[in-house]
Structure 1
C-alpha cells in the first residue's frame, strides 16, 4: 500500500491538499527506483511529512523521519494532488 501511494506522487516538486491544508511535496528517486525520499511541507504552516522508503528482497521498508509511521501512512493515503 505504501509503495503504491508513493508511486502515485510525481518525481520532483508537486503540490497537494491534506486535511484542508496545502502542502509542497518533493519526491526523489534513488538506486534505480529502489529507494525514495518524500518530504511534504505545509505551505504557510509548520506541519511536515518526511520519509524514506526502500524496496528490499523481503518487501518494502518504510522509515519515517522524526514522526510516527501512522502519520506518514495517513498522509500518503489521503493527500490529494493538485492537477495543473
Structure 2
C-alpha cells in the first residue's frame, strides 16, 4: 500500500520538492521497521506534513497528525527527494 512511498524516504533528515516548494523531511523508524513517523516542514514557509504509520499483523494504519489524510497521501506520492 503506502510502504513503498515511506521506504523511499531515508531515515533521519532529507530534503524534497513538493509542488515546486522545498521541504525538510525527518523520518524516524520504530519497532524494527513496523512504525514510522514523518514530519516535513516547508523551508521558508508555514506548511507542514505530519504522520504516523503502523504495520500490524492484520493491516497497515496511516494516522495523519492534525490534517486531512488526502494531503498526507498526496505528499507521500508526489514528493521528489533531492
Same fold (TM over 0.5): yes
Question: Could you state the TM-score of these two structures normalised by the residue count of structure 1?
Answer: 0.95
Q: 2:19 aligns to what?
A: 19
> Moved runs in structure 1, 4+ residues, more than 6 A?
none
Partner residue, 1:48: 48
- How far apart, in 2, do the equivalents of 1:34 and 1:58 lie? 12
**How far is 1:4 from its partner?**
1.1
TM-score, normalized by length of structure 2?
0.97
CA RMSD of aligned residues (A): 0.6
Q: Which runs of 5+ in 2 are unaligned?
A: none
Report what 2:29 is aligned to. Answer: 29
Cα distance, 1:57 vs. partner? 1.2
Whole-angstrom CA distance in 1 between matches of 2:71 and 2:31: 26
Count of matched residue positions in the alignment of Structure 1 and Structure 2: 82
